[in-house]
A and B are shown apart, each in its own frame.
Chain A
């Protein structure tokens, strides 16, 4: 609609494709290629192998996948409950306190993840909160880092709920609990799913805080990928990265398929 001539269109098409190809297609393609590479001493790998994927589904690497999935699910669920709770509670608050609390719930998203990890190390390495060296500290780090995003998504969803619907429910005799269960939460469902998806994706790729706090028994995939690449096993790292990306996208795809009843949108 901006370029009308045939030649101009062809030119912009080529330009767009080249830009997107080099910037986004190439990295994904190269990682995929490297994950199958047996030997790569020339422009392209000279030999292809499935060995790296076999490694990825074996021993440590497979544990890392499990750790990442468990961490992502647990942290996202807790963040979803806490974020939804906070968003619902702030909805009816007076304007000034609501704005202050809103800012407070968003602050974790602004603090660098490494510092979050450092704080947890400092805070939870002694009694009474001795959590350093346990799985809990990893879960806490992930929860803290994603909590602002779930809160933000749910708040945005609440702001977009159709006007009057909840008040009409109340006038029809629905007590607060019943209204929340039967009206507010079902209407919010698409936003809750989106919030969970986002948190889960962020948790799956989290490196900064995890690398600060993880105990030897709970290595997540990003930490494992870094360890592999740091000691030179870059093709194994590539295969594990592919697995991480595929798992994340698969879970997101599954979540996006959850039917939301009669949604107005």
Chain B
């Protein structure tokens, strides 16, 4: 579907080359330091035109710093940043042609909704006909057309954030930067705004988005590719599903979704990208996606919902663990089990009858649904 914003060329702004096709973002060895402390370390990452890349990580991991470096609010100590084909490292923020949405909306409280949305166009001295056409379009995109004459303080949090998104889109930015855009909203509104953002990107397929969040659900829902950050470094980067199925290290496995990680030894590569390993004296099979060498020690990663209670006679992947606690959470039951000194979690259907606390429970998982993760000293 052609975007409603696609009408009218981006001719008002000469420095927006090929804005209709969308522009990518490239970090090339970008480091940022505050007062001697490195908060972002040699980040190299590319966001392709029209792609949504989410940067996730705990607070202080450098993800927001990376976004603010694209916006121009932090100056890299080393490295270059490109938007499209243009090196913007030394370009002031107001000349970068970006749209930015922040956690607390940051609407201009002294301007009405339509004036807020028109701000970027007016700041570039756009013709008033263009402003008159573009503002209602942008407001309609986020379903706020009826609120054009309100002041921000008369709107709810979710409505304010819609206006903030419309304001960022109205200038037809080369890239859209979203910094924790949903974190200030309550759970229910967050869910519907997430759907809204997904719809928006279907309507504007050329829009390049850098999305910073600490919420893995948001990242998994929206992003084409996900970067996981920790202590100022990018520790994993890849397509969302691949990263979830085959995490390249322990941190990625545990930060993106929940994971059971069992230390295994005696790796023996097998056919079809599989491998046999030993957990204590139990033999298990799992995918060897990262092609780990024979005899390696590594971690076996299996997601809680891939662990099943029904025993299957035709497989080796069977473990017996002791039930420690059962939490009934409505649509699932979350079971915590002790497997020797290790803890194992599984999610099972709500109606399934489970044994009592302290009872042994035979478990099973498919080898194709488990993956082997290298134990990196730096990232483990």
Q: Are any A and B Cβ atoms less than 8 Å apart in their complex?
A: yes
* Contact across chains for B109 and A169 when beta carbons are under 8 A apart: no
User: A178, A182, A262: which contacts B151 (Cβ < 8 A)?
Assistant: A262
How far apart are the CA atoms of A178 and B92 in the complex, in Å? 14
Q: Which of A162, A167, A173, A260 contacts B124 (CB under 8 A)?
A: A173
User: Are the C-beta atoms of B123 and A163 separated by less than 8 Å?
Assistant: no
Q: Chain B 121-154, CB within 8 Å of chain A: the 1/0 string?
A: 0111000000000000000000000000001110
- Give the residues in chain A near B98, CB-CB below 8 Å: 171
Q: In the complex, A83 Cα to B32 Cα: how many Å?
A: 34
Complexed CA–CA distance, A189 and B110 (Å): 10
Bound-state Cα–Cα, A169 to B72, Å: 13
A-facing mask of B276-304, CB < 8 A → 1, else 0? 00000000000000000000000000000
A178 and B123 within 8 A (CB): yes
- Contact code string A211-244 (vs B, CB < 8 Å = 1, else 0): 0000000000000000000000000000000000
A170 touches B106 (CB 8 A): no
The docked-state distance in angstroms from the alpha carbon of A260 to that of B73 is: 30
- CA A189 – CA B108 in complex, angstroms? 13
Tell me the smallest distance from the CB of A92 to a CB of chain B, in Å: 12
Number of chain B residues whose Cβ lies closer than 8 Å to a Cβ of chain A: 34
Count of residues in A whose CB is under 8 Å from the partner chain: 26
For residue A260, which residue of chain B has the nearest CB? Answer: B110
| Interface presence of B264 (CB below 8 A) | no
- Of all chain A residues, the one with the shortest Cβ separation from B71 is A171
Let me know if B97 and A173 touch, CB within 8 A.
Answer: yes
Check: A183 CB closer than 8 A to any chain B CB.
Answer: yes
B110 x A167 contact (CB < 8 A): no
Knowing A167-B71, A178-B123, A182-B119, the reply to whether A172 touches B109 (Cβ < 8 A) is: no
Q: Known: A173-B123, A187-B109. Contact between A264 and B153, CB under 8 A?
A: yes
Contacts of B79 in A (CB 8 A): none
Question: Is A174's CB under 8 angstroms from B94's CB?
Answer: yes
In the complex, which residues of chain B have a beta carbon less than 8 angstroms from the beta carbon of A164? Answer: 102, 104, 106
The distance in angstroms between the C-alpha atoms of A172 and B98, with both chains bound, is 7
Instruction: Give A262 to B116 CA distance when docked, in angstroms.
Output: 12
Task: Answer whether A162 and B109 are a contact pair too, CB < 8 Å, given A171-B99, A172-B119, A172-B168.
Answer: yes
Do B96 and A171 touch (CB < 8 A)?
A: yes
Once the chains are docked, how many angstroms separate the CA of A263 from the CA of B108? Answer: 10
Closest 9 CB pairs of A and B: A172-B120, A264-B109, A164-B106, A174-B123, A171-B100, A262-B151, A170-B93, A173-B123, A168-B106
